[in-house]
C-alpha cells in the first residue's frame, strides 16, 4: 500500500513533462492575435529617447519594423509608442499576411504605449489576446514572447521571468525582465504566460545593438489601464498629489515611511497642510512600503477621488484626506529623487569645480541641481561619519529649512553655534533613501 502514493507521484511528474514538451497548440491559438507593424518614418521626435528601445536611430525616410497585438475584435491594436512615433504611414500585417493601413487612436509617452485601429474587411473580426494579472507572476515562471524580429515575420521564443519591478531608466515605469529572446522588431509584441494570457508588452532590450539575452516588458496591469483610457479618452489622465517622496525615517518616533522632499504649493496636498519633511506612514489603510506601489496606486486613481493618509509631522500623528488632481503635462513634472541623485553623481567627474570645504562638518560640498549640497569628500574625523552618509549624498535641509547654497548651510551652522553649540538637524538624500541625521556642533578647542 505504501507504494501507491509513489506511483501516483511518478505518474503526475510524467504527465507534466509531456504537457511541457511542446507549446505548439498554445502557439497556434495565439498567433492570430499578433501582428507585424511597418512604418514609413520621416523624422524622429527631438525628445524621443532611443537609447534603450529597440530601434535603429538612423531610420529617417526608411521603413521601421515592430510588433503589436489585437486587444479587441473590432481591430484595436496595442503597440509601443516608439514603434509608430514620427510615422507618415502605418501598415499592419496580420497572421494570414493581409495588409491594412492603420490610424492612431492615442499615444502615451509616459508608458511608451500606443493604440492603433484597422478597419475590418467584409465584416470580419479579429482575435484579441486576453490580459492576465502581472502581479501574480513569479521569478522562474515560463513565458512565451511573440514579435517580428528583424522583419522576419511573427516569431515566438520561450524563456522564464528573470526579475520583476526593474527600473531601466525609461521614466518611472517598472518592467518585467525575461531571458526569452527579444530583438529589434519585437517592440510592442506580447509576453504570454503558459495560460495564454498577456502579462507584458515587450518594450526594451539591454542594449540597442542586437540580441543580449535580457529583455524588458511593461506589466500587463499598467498596459491594460493605459489601453482603456486611450480608447475611451484618446489620452491618459493620471492622478497627481503634487509631491515628491522618498523612503525615510521619522527622527522623533523612529517610524519609517515616505518622507515628502518636495511639494507643489498649488496642490491639494499643500492646501491640506502637508509640508516637506512630513512622513506618510499609510495610505487608504495600506502601510507605506514600496515607493513604486504608492506611485502606481495614486497615478491610477480617478481625478477627485479621495486618498486617505496617515502621516507624522514633527512626530505627531495626523490623519487627512486629499482629493486627487489630474497630473499636469509632462514638461511640468518633477524628476524623481533617484534620477536627480544619479545625475548629480555623474557630475562628480568634475568635482573640484565649485567645491567648498565646511570645516565645522568636516566635509567638502558643491551645489546640486535643483537644490541641496552634494557631498564630495568627508574627513576621517567628520561629525557625519558613522551616520550612513556617503560620497554623492545630498544635504537637502538644515533645521527644516531648504538648502540651496553653501551660504544657506553656513548660516544655519552659525545659528546652531550661537545657540550654545546645539546639534544641527540635516535631511540627507541618498540614491535609495532620505533620512534625518543630527550633526553635533563642536567647539574648536574640544
Q: What does the CA dihedral 259, 264, 267, 272 come to, rounded to 10 degrees?
A: 50
Q: 220 an active-site residue?
A: no
Instruction: Give DSSP secondary structure letters for 92-160.
Output: EE-TT--EEE-EEEEEETTTTEEEEE-PPSTT----PPEE--GGG--TT-EEEEEE-GGGS-SEEEEEE
Q: 296 an active-site residue?
A: no
Element (H, E) at 292: helix 291-299
Angle at CA 193, nearest 5°, toward 187 and 196?
Answer: 95
Residue with cell 486576453: 130
Q: 203 an active-site residue?
A: no
Strands 130-131 and 197-205: parallel
CA 171, CA 204: separation in Å to the nearest integer? 13
Tell me if 263 sits within 8 A of 276, measured CB to CB.
Answer: yes
304-to-195, 239, 386 alpha-carbon distances in Å: 37, 9, 45
DSSP reduced 3-state for 378: strand
DSSP reduced 3-state for 236: coil
CA 197, CA 353: separation in Å to the nearest integer? 54
- Point out the catalytic residue in the list 112, 250, 278, 393: 112
- Point out the catalytic residue in the list 67, 187, 217, 425: 187
Cα of 438 vs its chain's centroid, Å: 32
- Point out the catalytic residue in the list 76, 82, 162, 250: 82
**Catalytic sites, residue numbers:** 82, 112, 187
Amino acid at each position: 500500500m505504501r507504494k501507491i502514493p509513489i506511483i501516483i507521484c511518478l505518474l503526475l511528474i510524467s504527465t507534466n513533462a509531456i504537457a511541457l514538451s511542446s507549446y505548439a497548440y498554445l502557439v497556434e491559438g495565439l498567433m492570430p492575435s499578433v501582428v507585424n507593424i511597418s512604418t514609413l518614418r520621416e523624422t524622429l521626435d527631438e525628445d524621443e529617447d532611443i537609447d534603450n528601445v529597440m530601434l535603429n536611430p538612423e531610420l529617417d525616410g526608411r521603413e521601421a519594423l515592430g510588433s503589436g497585438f489585437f486587444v479587441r475584435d473590432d481591430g484595436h491594436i496595442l503597440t509601443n509608442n516608439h514603434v509608430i512615433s514620427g510615422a507618415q504611414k502605418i501598415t499592419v500585417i496580420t497572421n494570414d499576411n493581409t495588409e491594412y493601413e492603420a490610424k492612431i487612436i492615442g499615444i502615451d509617452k509616459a508608458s511608451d504605449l500606443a493604440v492603433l485601429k484597422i478597419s475590418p474587411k467584409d465584416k470580419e473580426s479579429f482575435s484579441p489576446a486576453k490580459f492576465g494579472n502581472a502581479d501574480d507572476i513569479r521569478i522562474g515562471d515560463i513565458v512565451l514572447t511573440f514579435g517580428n524580429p528583424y522583419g522576419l515575420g511573427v516569431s515566438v521564443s520561450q524563456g522564464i521571468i528573470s526579475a520583476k519591478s526593474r527600473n531601466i531608466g525609461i521614466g518611472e515605469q517598472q518592467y518585467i525582465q525575461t531571458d526569452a529572446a527579444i530583438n529589434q522588431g519585437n517592440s510592442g509584441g506580447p509576453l504570454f504566460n503558459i495560460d495564454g494570457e498577456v502579462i507584458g508588452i515587450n518594450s526594451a532590450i539591454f542594449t540597442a545593438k542586437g540580441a543580449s539575452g535580457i529583455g524588458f516588458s511593461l506589466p500587463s496591469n499598467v498596459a491594460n489601464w493605459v489601453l482603456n483610457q486611450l480608447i475611451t479618452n484618446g489620452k491618459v489622465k493620471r492622478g497627481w498629489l503634487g509631491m515628491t517622496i522618498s523612503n525615510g525615517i521619522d527622527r522623533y518616533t523612529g517610524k519609517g515611511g515616505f518622507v515628502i522632499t518636495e511639494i507643489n504649493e498649488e496642490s491639494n496636498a499643500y492646501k491640506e497642510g502637508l509640508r516637506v519633511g512630513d512622513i506618510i506612514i499609510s495610505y487608504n489603510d495600506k502601510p507605506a512600503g514600496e515607493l513604486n506601489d504608492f506611485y502606481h496606486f495614486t497615478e491610477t486613481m480617478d481625478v477627485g477621488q479621495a486618498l486617505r493618509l496617515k502621516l507624522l509631522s514633527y512626530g505627531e500623528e495626523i490623519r487627512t484626506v486629499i482629493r486627487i488632481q489630474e497630473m499636469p503635462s509632462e514638461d511640468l513634472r518633477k524628476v524623481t529623487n533617484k534620477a536627480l541623485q544619479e545625475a548629480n553623481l555623474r557630475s562628480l567627474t568634475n568635482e573640484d569645480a565649485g567645491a567648498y570645504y565646511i570645516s565645522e562638518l568636516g566635509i567638502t560640498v558643491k551645489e546640486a541641481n535643483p537644490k541641496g549640497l552634494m557631498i564630495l569628500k568627508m574627513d576621517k574625523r567628520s561629525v557625519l561619519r558613522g551616520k550612513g552618509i556617503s560620497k554623492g549624498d545630498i544635504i537637502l535641509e538644515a533645521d527644516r529649512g531648504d538648502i540651496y547654497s553653501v551660504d544657506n548651510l553656513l548660516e544655519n551652522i552659525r545659528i546652531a553655534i550661537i545657540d550654545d553649540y546645539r546639534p544641527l538637524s540635516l535631511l540627507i538624500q541618498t540614491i535609495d533613501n532620505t533620512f534625518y541625521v543630527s550633526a553635533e556642533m563642536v567647539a574648536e578647542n574640544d
